């Protein structure tokens, strides 16, 4: 039986960034789910039970910090690793991401390879 693909939830309000990341991750054998704001991100986390979440911080409707907090507060999703994506990279933002429950963060812009390396660090090699 083929190994189940690891599922990654991408939450970002930048449509083109989502599309690029989705294509790249699917090319490397991951299943992806996307959401365009924090509220939708929380809903998808609960509904889809991804193996890993990439969470933009600055988004309309609900920001990534609040979404991260809500995912951590839910017994069904509290153990899913969350990596925040920040365009700012200010020490206070990085501290905020961690204090709201993020496991890690990446500073935009980043190379696709950095994203893949981060995924492997959390999930190991894919089943490919
Ligand atoms: Mg944003």
Average pLDDT over the chain, rounded to an integer: 92
- Distance from residue 68's CA to the centre of ligand 1 (Å): 14
- Calculate mean pLDDT across residues 34-39: 98
pTM (2 decimals)? 0.93
- How far apart are the CA of 58 and the centre of ligand 1, in A? 4
Q: What is the pLDDT of residue 127?
A: 46
DSSP string over 24-90: HHHHTT-EEEEESSHHHHHHHHHHH--SEEEEESS-SSS-HHHHHHHHHHSTTTTTS-EEEEES---
Contact 39, 62 (CB under 8 A): yes
- Between residues 4 and 65, which one has the greater pLDDT? 65
pLDDT tens profile 73-96:
999 999 999 999 988 777 888 888
Total Cβ atoms within 10 A of residue 30: 22
Q: What is the CATH number of domain 7-119?
A: 3.40.50.2300
The pLDDT tens digits for 40-62 are: 999 999 999 999 999 999 999 99
Span from the CA of 56 to the centroid of ligand 1 (angstroms): 6
Q: Is the pLDDT of residue 67 over 50?
A: yes
How many angstroms is it from 84 CA to the middle of ligand 1? 11
Domains of the chain by residue range:
7-119
Question: In which band, very low, low, confident or very high, does the pLDDT at 128 lie, cut at 50, 70 and 90?
Answer: very low
Output the CA 47–ligand 1 centroid distance in Å.
Answer: 22
**Which of 59, 21, 25 lies closest to 42, judged by CA?**
59
Tell me the CA–centroid distance for residue 60 and ligand 1, in Å: 8
């Amino acid at each position: 039986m083929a190994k189940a693909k690891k599922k990654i939830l991408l939450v970002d309000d930048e449509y083109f960034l989502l599309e690029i990341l989705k294509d790249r991750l699917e090319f490397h054998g991951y299943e992806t789910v996307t959401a365009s704001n924090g509220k939708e991100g929380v809903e998808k986390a609960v509904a889809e039970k991804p193996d890993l979440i990439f969470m933009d911080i600055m988004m309309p409707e609900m920001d990534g910090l609040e979404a991260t907090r809500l995912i951590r507060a839910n017994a069904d999703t509290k153990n899913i690793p969350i990596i925040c994506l920040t365009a700012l990279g200010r020490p206070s933002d990085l501290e905020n991401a961690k204090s709201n429950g993020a496991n890690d963060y990446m500073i935009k812009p980043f190379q696709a390879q950095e994203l893949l390396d981060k995924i492997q660090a959390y999930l190991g090699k894919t089943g490919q």
